[in-house]
Amino acid sequence: MGKYFGTDGFRGEANVSLTVEHAYKVGRYLGWYYSRQSEKPCKVVIGKDTRRSSYMFEYSLVAGLTASGTDAYLLHVTTTPSISYVARTEDFDCGIMISASHNPYFDNGIKLLNSQGEKMEEETIQKIEAYLDGEPAELPYAVGAGIGRTVDYVIGRNRYIGYLISLATRSYRNMRIGLDCANGSAWMIARSVFEALGAKTYVIHAEPDGININEKCGSTHIEELQEFVIKNQLDAGFAFDGDADRCIAVDDQGNVVDGDLILYVCAVYMKENGMLENNTVATTIVSNLGLYKAFEEAGIEFVKTQVGDKYVYESMAKNDYCIGGEQTGHVIFSRYAATGDGILTALKIMEVILEKKMPLSKLISPVTIYPQEQQNIRVRNKEDVNKDSDIRELIRSVEEELGDTGRILVRESGTEPVIRVMVEAKTQEACRHYVELVAQHIREKGYCAQ
């Protein structure tokens, strides 16, 4: 991770740690950088989520890009995976998504994607960071006919919607589906896709006002969708996050189907149909022990990466795996996308339900999830916590006590000044005990932010 860019872009509180000047300079550098590499006019596609500050950052990025001689194509409010799709299929030099994903509305972020729709290469990120810190101090401005232009490109979003619809294997007629759009990027796209496929579609949290994105809704607040599915007797429900690169499902009984369970359902189906390349699923170090035991029972191999869909995708691309993801609902189907795509994930779950003619509750039944507890501790300096020998020794002692009946994982967030303490054990009480033991020690050592 760099000084500004974490595992999922440059993220921070709007006009506090991520300002309009930052956005302008990111645009200036990208516009100049790509203009130097090509004789033809450079093109960058931009999308944004529904946060109030997203419009401000969009204008700043466009000003920077066009001032450097690059054309900016605007998809307006759209999803991160749609930017990835358009970037890789329509000859763009790169893509930019303005979003802080699942964070509250007062945060925002700048996600950069390369011409293949993948997370931007670290080498390029480092050059942008150097420019943000004043190296080089000046870049030449485009003049005359060399100044970039801004293009309204809603058609790109429409093509993405058409692509999603084309991936469905069956009609959704007679299926009753709930969608929680988190008052974010999916608020129009998800409904359009499911209704076009014939589902009786019930939508909640699809009235964005600029400040209600992710507010007690979406993939990080699944409770209301659970109640909604039960109340309306739906076949399934799907909840997205602010930029719709995540999906958490709810089955017909109202149970939460997180990223781990989604990986299981889809991977088993793919194995049964000869589509699971190398018979392997890419997971992260925080996937549940129950998932791994279920994979072993099903004869499916798995690998573990660092937390972050960036690392999952890198592992998949390097080793030719076709499915991978995170417990949080970032699921990547590499045959169809270069990033996590919440709506695509929902479509792939629907494919399994319809092709196997089984309810989602039945499809997840072979997996026994271990109790898990996590506490997020906001700290002043993540590195200081990681280096503390007393904390490391306490973690080792917990590991010894848990033995092979559980595990503890203490890691730093890639996008926030947060240390995450996670424990899996035989009982929820044991999980809470060990999580609080470590969390309290971190607090007592004085590392917590005020």
- What letters, b where the CB count within 10 A reaches 16 and e where it falls short, cover 235-263? bbbbbbbbbbbbbbbbbbebebbbbbbbb
Catalytic residue among 54, 101, 287, 315: 101
Q: If we measure between CA atoms, which residue out of 237, 273, 274, 280 comes closest to residue 355? A: 273
- How remote is the C-alpha of 182 from its chain's centroid? 14
Say if residues 17 and 57 touch (Cβ distance below 8 Å). Answer: no
Kindly state the tokens that stand for 340.
Answer: 């996590």
Say if residues 288 and 364 touch (Cβ distance below 8 Å). Answer: no
Kindly state the tokens that stand for 321.
Answer: 């795996």
When computed from its CA atoms, the radius of gyration of the chain, rounded to whole angstroms, is 22
245 annotated ligand binder:
yes
Q: How does strand 5-6 pair with strand 407-412?
A: unpaired
Q: Is 361 a catalytic residue?
A: no
Say if residues 232 and 176 touch (Cβ distance below 8 Å). Answer: yes
Burial zone of 165 (CB within 10 Å; 0-12 exposed, 13-18 middle, 19+ buried): middle
Kindly state the tokens that stand for 388.
Answer: 């503390």
SS3 content of the chain, % helix, strand, coil (to 5): 40, 20, 35
- In DSSP terms, 424 is beta-bridged to 372, 407
Does the CA dihedral 232-205-244-76 come out positive or negative?
positive
Q: Which residues touch 128 (CB under 8 Å, ≥6 apart)?
A: 4, 5, 26, 29, 30, 112
Say if residues 449 and 416 touch (Cβ distance below 8 Å). Answer: no
Say if residues 91 and 40 touch (Cβ distance below 8 Å). Answer: no
Residue type, 260: D
CA distances from 131 to 60, 71, 128, 137, 326 (A): 16, 21, 5, 7, 33
Whether residue 136 is preceded by a cis peptide bond, meaning omega within 30 degrees of 0, is yes
Token pair 């509305």: residue? 105
Q: Which residues touch 376 (CB under 8 Å, ≥6 apart)?
A: 413, 418, 419, 420
Pick out the residues of the known binding site for Mg(2+).
101, 241, 243, 245
Pick out the residues of the known binding site.
101, 241, 243, 245
* Catalytic residue annotation: 101
